[in-house]
Chain A
Amino acid sequence: QKEVEQDPGPLSVPEGAIVSLNCTYSNSAFQYFMWYRQYSRKGPELLMYTYSSGNKEDGRFTAQVDKSSKYISLFIRDSQPSDSATYLCAIPGAGGTSYGKLTFGQGTILTVHP
């Protein structure tokens, strides 16, 4: 079993839809959870990160962690064509190391069409 699993999609939604992106993880010791967005031909850009359980909101984006289920989610409200990108969940500390080694999910390719 991979330490971080993410449905690669692709996911195609109409403009204005609510998008839900999800990852599962295997190690209950993980504390920090991150979401990166990667546009085509660009590097990953940090969107949000959360610590432990709960929700964190930033504009149209909400990150949610359910440690009991080992499940993390990113919700995008009122999705826009400019949100079309690959979304990667990432967890530091996987693989037995501390800082530096981010273990990424496979990435979900999202297309928001007008």
Chain B
Amino acid sequence: DTEVTQTPKHLVMGMTNKKSLKCEQHMGHRAMYWYKQKAKKPPELMFVYSYEKLSINESVPSRFSPECPNSSLLNLHLHALQPEDSALYLCASSQVRVFSPLHFGNGTRLTVT
């Protein structure tokens, strides 16, 4: 089991639905991340939160809306997604310093129909 917990593990949603992905960590990390991973590809960074503030947005479409309610929680709100958004969505956390290894959760496998 990882120390970064993601729910749900699987999600199927229609293009008109609104859903949310959740991530929780209790390692005291103050940086949290969303990555997207397509099959047989490496993870790609979407968002970075540092001290609960959004610090990096990798030009992600507005149908993805991140939220960091507190230092342990990270959400990704989904609305009006496209089938090409189907992927594994990974949450990660780290300490806030020049180098700190990222700890990943096991992801939410999202299918958009």
Contacts and interface: CB of A to CB of B under 8 A. Distances in A.
A44 interface: yes
Given A88-B42, A106-B41, A106-B42, A98 B98 contact: yes
Interface stretch (B13-21, B65-73, B99-107): B99-107
Contacts of A102: 43, 45, 102
B105 A99 contact: no
B97 A99 contact: yes
B31 interface: yes
Contact of A104 (B42, B97, B101, B109): B42
Contacts of B102: 46, 100, 102
Measured as residues with beta carbon below 8 angstroms from the partner, the interface class of chain A is 20 to 34
B42 A99 contact: no
A43 B94 contact: no
B55 A100 contact: yes
Contacts of A32: 99
B74 interface: no
Interface string A14-34: 000000000000000001101
Nearest to B100: A99
Interface in B26-56: 31, 33, 40-43, 45, 48, 50, 55-56
A56 interface: no
Interface of A: 8, 31-32, 34, 36, 41-46, 49, 51, 88, 92-93, 97-102, 104-107, 109
